[in-house]
Amino acid sequence: MRTASDPPAIEFRNVTKRFYLKDGRTLREFAQAILTRRAWGDEFSALQDVSFQVERGESLGIIGRNGSGKSTALKLIAGVTAPSSGEVYVTGRVSPLIELGAGFHPDLTGRENVHLNGSILGMSDREINEQFDSIVDFAELRDFIDTPVKRYSSGMYMRLGFAVAVHSNPDILLVDEVLSVGDAFFQEKCQQRMREFKQQGVTIVLVSHSAETIMNFCDRALRIDHGRLVADGPARQIVDEYMATVPQHVEAG
Binding residues for another protein restricted to 161-220, rule: CB under 8 A: 169, 171
Question: Closest approach of Cβ 132 to another protein, in Å?
Answer: 14
Q: Name the segment binding another protein (CB under 8 A); options: 77-85, 152-160, 217-225, 231-239.
A: 77-85
Using DSSP bridges, classify how beta strands 85-90 and 59-63 pair: parallel, antiparallel or unpaired: unpaired
Our CA angle for 93, 10, 1, nearest 5°, is 115
Q: Name the segment binding another protein (CB under 8 A); options: 98-106, 183-191, 192-200, 234-242.
A: 98-106
CB nearer another protein, residue 100 or residue 218: 100
CB nearer another protein, residue 81 or residue 245: 81
Distances (CA, A) of 209 to 38, 112, 197: 37, 35, 22
Of 3, 5, 26, 66, which one interacts with another protein (CB under 8 A)?
A: 26
Main-chain phi, psi angles of 204, to 5 degrees: -120, 130
Instruction: Report yes or no: 202 and 57 within 8 Å, Cβ to Cβ.
Output: yes
Distance CA 40, CA 22 (A): 8
Query: Contact between 127 and another protein (CB under 8 A)?
Result: yes
Of 34, 39, 82, 246, which one interacts with another protein (CB under 8 A)?
A: 82
Three-state SS at 151: helix
